[in-house]
Amino acid sequence: MANTDKIRLLLEAELKRKLSDTPKKPFMRFANYEFEGQIKAGGDTVRVPISPKITLTDVSAENSGDIRATSIADISASDRTVTHSDLVVNKLHQYREKFSDLEEIQTLYSIKGNRLHDLLNGMDTAVESSIITMLDAFFLAHSGQVIEESTLSAADVASKIMKLRTALSEKEVPMDNRILVVSPAVSAVIAQAGIVAGTEVAADAAIEWWLGKFAGFSIFESNLISKGNLYAFRAKSYNYVRQLFKAKVTEAEAGMYYNILGQIAHGGKVFDQNAEQLYKMEVSGLNPTPTETPTETPTETPTPTN
């Protein structure tokens, strides 16, 4: 029994180790986990101070334009009202599976077994979906960060992505680490347009949801977002916290079976100082093929007969 009972010791340790790995799903991969070590349990809160943006005042016209006189005068203090924003662990997902004996668990949940990967993928999907829900709530409250388009096709997808690039640049978001996550339907449009086909990294497009690079964006695909949505942001512009509560094997008190129990608590926030680093494009209709002008088949003039 000692050999088969190793699963009790290994399951939680392996899940915790995997939880610390670099996430494979795109929204999880580019979240900021800065406060993950500070929050230990569900309902815990971290309060983040937010200072106003630094803006320099143009005083060139003071003292009748005498810049020397103005430069030695006292400088009026700028407002520095510090506000706060809270990040709360307010999501809890859990899982239970029943087994007849420990040997069955050992077989399915071995460290290299597919069942363990299924459990990890289930946890990742729950967190990834919650991040998307959090971002959608942010965009609902910040309508100025949403660009609405009626259609998207292979003929104009490049110009639409450039709109997102321009929106970020106008808010002075740095060019490095810009991410674009699109739905599979939008991914199909991008593929047909061929806008990433000429890039050096396009050959890796099938690896871990990565499509390639275009217009300064690293482009990824997610099958968890709505059909016509594109999310453009700078990496780590939103914060998230994942805490593994439990992952253990227990013997049922009322029956002859064993349980595998798993729980994960998590939560996230787009802090106010990062709000300008995220944009969303919502497309009403998708046309996966370029618009073609129909050509008329020329009619032949019959040859006169004598």
pLDDT digits (tens, 9 = 90+) for 184-221: 999 999 988 888 865 555 445 444 578 889 999 999 99
Which range, of 9-13, 126-130, 232-236, 297-301, averages the lowest pLDDT? Answer: 297-301
pLDDT at 68: 87
Residue with more model confidence, 110 or 221: 221
Q: How far apart are CA 103 and CA 44, in angstroms?
A: 38
pLDDT at 205: 45
Ranges 45-49, 188-192, 234-238: which has the least confidence: 45-49
For 127-145, what is the mean pLDDT?
95
Weakest mean pLDDT among 47-56, 85-94, 233-242, 259-268: 47-56
Instruction: State the pLDDT at residue 299.
Output: 47
For the chain, what percent of residues have pLDDT higher than 90? 36
- Confidence band, pLDDT 50/70/90 cuts, at residue 247: confident
Q: What is the pTM of this model?
A: 0.77
Per-residue pLDDT at 284 exceeds 50: yes
Q: Residues 146, 147, 150, CA angle at the centre, nearest 5°?
A: 135
Whole-number mean pLDDT of the chain?
81
pLDDT at 72: 85
Q: What is the pLDDT of residue 184?
A: 92
Instruction: List, as own/partner pairs, every contact residues 107-111 make where C-beta atoms lie below 8 angstroms and the sequence separation is at least 24, other chains included.
Output: 109/7, 109/11, 109/260, 110/7, 111/10, 111/14
Residue 94: what residue type? Q
CB contact set of 143 (below 8 Å; sequence gap of 6+)? none
Pick the CATH number of 6-50+85-287 from 3.40.1400, 1.25.40, 3.90.1690, 3.30.499: 3.90.1690
Q: What was the pLDDT predicted at 42? A: 60
Whether the CB-CB separation of 174 and 217 falls below 8 Å is answered with no
pLDDT at 297 over 50: no
Query: Is the pLDDT assigned to residue 54 strictly greater than 80?
Result: no
What is the spatial distance between Cα 189 and Cα 212, in angstroms, rounded to a whole number?
14
C-alpha distances out from residue 304 to 209, 300, 301, Å: 64, 12, 9
Residue holding tokens 């096709």? 153
pLDDT value for 168: 96
* Confidence tier at 1 by pLDDT (50, 70, 90): very low
294 confidence band (pLDDT: 50, 70, 90):
very low
Q: Provide the pLDDT for residue 219.
A: 94
